[in-house]
């Protein structure tokens, strides 16, 4: 405690009290449980386990060939006493390795051992608890059961753990016993989750590899990584409700960005050929297993390109991600019952053709009332405010989306739903837009960007009409963005991906909370 107060101990559990007593006893013995000086780590558990070598001599004895002097640091995760010897499992960032300690090795230990409190019997056997961080030094060997083990000659406390960790055990068949599984506790105490559930750690390592792969790909493509404002005076670029805040010095409202699209396009106006941003977006909407109020997006914009070019680039990027994240370096990813193939080219299907294929309905020739009848007949929820474009979108969402398992580009959307997208070069009423669907879910959204400033102004005005009719998600007029377009933006292709969704896809997780270290939670009540 900062003010030197002792925390009250009256509502601590038995085990917490015992650990505090152990801490006190260590101090009384002159052993500092939280030493300041660094501990020099020379090796990591996984490397030793993987690379230890020994040879059998002619007389049958063994000769250890490497790791004769090692120092490791980590948490003690298991301990098995065997008389005057002891086995422990040490867990460091690389994995686990077994430790072997003998009483004889600690009889004359310089580390605070006294006749009244021998290092082994008193300190190691009694005052060392599971979860403590220790530094150990010794040599590697193989036990007679064949497990690579560190024969510990010195042990140093690095940090005492005052709370018992959940004990997760794994038997010889690999079955996990007493796993720490309660999602609430796992998300609230991710540090505990990461400590005891190695597969959770592996998921997050994969997430980072996903992001690094994307960065490398886009850097090689020659795009410039940029940062744009998170606090925006006008929230634009997407249809969503924002978080609102207030800047005191300027005495003005600000919004946490729901998208960065309009800023990235300003940079294309400014003369950059290609830019990308990886960052957090914030949307003040409902939460469920695919939505968190803050989430990560990748957006990139490239001048002189169109949406066909983006489809090619997307195929190459996804193939590379798959190779980086699959277990075998291949392009296939197992996801539930499906094996997803990320080697391109992906199927390209117009929205109208997709609906025709999966419903038999020709939405191009059907009029609004025919679509309404179809929806009613199929039990698709609709309301009176929905125009033809919205009805088509509803039919697609209900009847088609779930069938798009293998990566599929769905192309050419009605103009009404895409206020920032260039009109189709040859199909009236449509825009040059695609969404990428994988595993029945949308993972990316792209288009040939609208760069006609007069057309863009009309689209914003249509949005204002929607807002006037009560649409809380309609976009606001952004005069500065229009001014930028009036100066001239080259033809540009742009695309956005939900990074968390990609992380879920490539790690086989069905909840966004499993790919966010700290998903949003209601406050704990004590």
Could you say which residues in the range 146-205 bind RNA, by CB under 7 A?
Answer: 146-147, 149, 163-172, 177-185, 187
Edge-first strand order for the sheet with 492-498 is: 224-225, 274-282, 294-303, 492-498, 441-448, 430-438, 408-414, 347-350
Q: Which is nearer to RNA, 57 or 454 (CB)?
A: 57
Specify the residue, 311 or 499, whose C-beta has the smaller distance to RNA: 499
Nearer to RNA, 130 or 343 (CB): 130
Q: Rule CB under 7 A: is residue 18 a binding residue for RNA?
A: yes
* Distance, CA of 441 to CA of 403 (rounded, Å): 9
Q: Which stretch binds RNA (CB under 7 A): 31-39, 281-289, 333-341, 406-414?
A: 281-289
List of residues 6+ apart from 434 with CB closer than 8 A: 307, 310, 311, 348, 409, 410, 411, 412, 445, 446, 447
Tokens of 448: 């040939």
DSSP single-letter state for residue 118: -
Does 83 interact with RNA (rule: CB under 7 A)?
A: yes
403 makes contact with RNA (CB under 7 A):
no
CB of 80 to RNA, least distance (A): 4
Q: Is 28 in the site for RNA (CB under 7 A)?
A: no
Binds RNA by CB under 7 A, chosen from 80, 338, 347, 403: 80
Q: Which residue in the set 27, 34, 65, 82 belongs to the binding site for RNA (CB under 7 A)?
A: 82
In the complex, least distance from residue 165 CB atom to RNA, rounded to whole angstroms: 7
Burial of 30 (0-12, 13-18, 19+ CB in 10 A): exposed
Binding mask 310-349 for RNA (x = CB under 7 A): ----------------------------------------
Calculate the alpha carbon distances from 386 to 138, 324, 462 in Å. 73, 43, 15
In the bound state with RNA, the residue whose beta carbon lies nearer, of 47 and 442, is 442
CA distance linking residue 257 with residue 242, whole number of Å: 7
User: Which residues from 361-390 bind RNA, rule CB under 7 A?
Assistant: 381
The residue whose two tokens read 């006609």 is 452
Nearer to RNA, 324 or 386 (CB): 386
**Residue (of 128, 131, 107) closest to 119 by Cα position:** 107
Please identify, using beta-carbon distances, which residue of 101 and 340 lies nearer to RNA: 101
> Which among 222, 208, 253, 216 has a CA at the least distance from the CA of 235?
253
Q: Which is nearer to RNA, 156 or 441 (CB)?
A: 441
- Is the distance from CB of 275 to CB of 223 less than 8 angstroms? yes
Phi, psi of 302 (to 5 degrees): -135, 130
Nearer to RNA, 269 or 335 (CB): 335
Give 95 or 490: the residue with its C-beta nearer to RNA: 95
Residue 261 binds to RNA (criterion: CB under 7 A)? no
Cα–Cα distance for residue pair 408/315, rounded to 1 Å: 10
What are the distances in angstroms from CA 101 to CA 23, 53, 150, 299, 340? 21, 21, 9, 54, 49
Binding of RNA by 222 (CB under 7 A): no
Where in 439-478 is the site for RNA (CB under 7 A)?
442-443, 445, 473
Residue matched to tokens 């704990």 = 524
List, in sequence order, the alpha helices (H) in 290-387: 307-325, 351-359, 368-378
Q: Which residue has the tokens 């540009």?
A: 492
Residue 498 C-beta: closest distance to RNA, Å: 4
State the DSSP code for 48.
Answer: H
Q: How far is the CB of 38 from RNA (least distance, A)?
A: 28
Place of tokens 């419903």: 359
Number of residues that bind RNA (CB under 7 A): 80
Among 29, 41, 46, 130, binds RNA (CB under 7 A): 130
Site for RNA in 47-76 (CB under 7 A): none
Q: Of 126, 244, 347, 403, which one interacts with RNA (CB under 7 A)?
A: 126
**Cα–Cα separations (whole angstroms), residue 308 to 46, 75, 89, 216, 410:** 46, 52, 55, 22, 12
Give least dist CB 207 to RNA, A: 14
Q: Are 130 and 163 in contact (CB under 8 A)?
A: no
Closest by CA to 94, choosing from 112, 115, 70, 62, is 70
Q: Which of 144, 384, 425, 469 binds RNA (CB under 7 A)?
A: 144
Using CB under 7 A, pick the residue from 98, 137, 232, 509 that binds RNA. 98
Q: Is residue 396 a contact residue for RNA (CB under 7 A)? A: no
Q: Which stretch binds RNA (CB under 7 A): 38-46, 203-211, 238-246, 358-366?
A: 238-246
Q: Which is nearer to RNA, 206 or 283 (CB)?
A: 283
Residue among 4, 110, 286, 428 that touches RNA (CB under 7 A): 286
Output 3 or 63, the one with its CB closest to RNA: 63
Beta carbon nearer to RNA, 303 or 447 = 447
């Amino acid at each position: 405690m900062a003010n030197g107060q002792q925390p009250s101990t009256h509502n601590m559990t038995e085990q917490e009290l015992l650990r505090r007593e152990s801490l006190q006893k260590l101090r009384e013995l002159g052993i500092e449980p939280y030493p300041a000086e660094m501990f020099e780590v020379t090796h990591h558990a996984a490397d030793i386990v993987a690379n230890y070598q020994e040879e059998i001599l002619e007389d049958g004895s063994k000769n250890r060939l490497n790791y004769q002097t090692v120092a490791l640091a980590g948490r003690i995760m298991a301990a098995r006493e065997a008389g005057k010897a002891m086995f422990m499992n040490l867990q460091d960032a690389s994995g686990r390795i077994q430790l072997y300690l003998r009483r004889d090795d600690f009889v004359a230990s310089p580390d605070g051992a006294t006749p009244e409190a021998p290092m082994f019997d008193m300190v190691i056997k009694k005052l060392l608890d599971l979860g403590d961080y220790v530094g150990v030094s010794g040599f590697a060997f193989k036990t007679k059961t064949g497990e690579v083990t560190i024969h510990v000659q010195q042990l140093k406390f690095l940090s005492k753990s005052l709370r018992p960790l959940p004990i997760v055990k794994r038997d010889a068949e690999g079955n996990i016993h007493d796993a720490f599984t309660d999602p609430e506790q796992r998300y609230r105490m991710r540090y505990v989750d990461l400590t005891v559930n190695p597969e959770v750690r592996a998921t997050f390592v994969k997430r980072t590899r996903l992001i690094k792969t994307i960065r490398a790909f886009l850097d090689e493509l020659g795009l410039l990584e940029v940062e744009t404002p998170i606090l925006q005076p006008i929230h634009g670029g997407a249809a969503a409700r924002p978080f609102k805040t207030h800047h005191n010095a300027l005495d003005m409202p600000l919004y946490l960005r729901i998208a960065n699209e309009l800023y990235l396009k300003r940079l294309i106006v400014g003369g950059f050929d290609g830019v990308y941003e990886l960052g957090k977006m914030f949307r003040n909407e409902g939460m469920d297993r695919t939505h968190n109020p803050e989430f990560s997006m990748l957006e990139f914009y490239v001048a002189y390109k169109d949406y066909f070019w983006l489809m090619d680039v997307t195929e190459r990027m996804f193939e590379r991600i798959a190779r980086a994240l699959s277990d075998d370096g291949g392009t296939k990813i197992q996801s539930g019952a499906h094996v997803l193939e990320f080697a391109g080219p992906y199927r390209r299907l117009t929205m109208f053709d997709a609906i025709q294929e999966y419903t038999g309905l020709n939405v191009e020739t059907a009029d609004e009332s025919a679509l309404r009848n179809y929806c009613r007949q199929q039990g698709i929820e609709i309301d009176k405010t929905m125009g033809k474009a919205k009805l088509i979108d509803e039919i697609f969402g209900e009847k088609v989306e779930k069938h798009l398992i293998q990566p599929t580009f769905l192309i050419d959307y009605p103009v009404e739903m895409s206020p920032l997208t260039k009109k189709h070069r040859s199909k009236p009423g449509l825009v040059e837009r695609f969404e990428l669907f994988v595993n029945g879910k949308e993972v990316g959204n792209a288009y040939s960007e609208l760069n006609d400033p007069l057309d863009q102004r009309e689209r914003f005005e249509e949005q204002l009409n929607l807002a006037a009719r009560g649409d809380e998600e309609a976009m606001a007029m952004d005069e500065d963005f229009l001014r930028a377009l009036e100066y001239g933006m080259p033809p540009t292709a742009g695309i956005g991906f939900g990074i968390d969704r990609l992380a879920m896809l490539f790690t086989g997780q069905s909840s966004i909370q499993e790919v966010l270290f700290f998903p949003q939670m209601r406050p704990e009540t004590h």
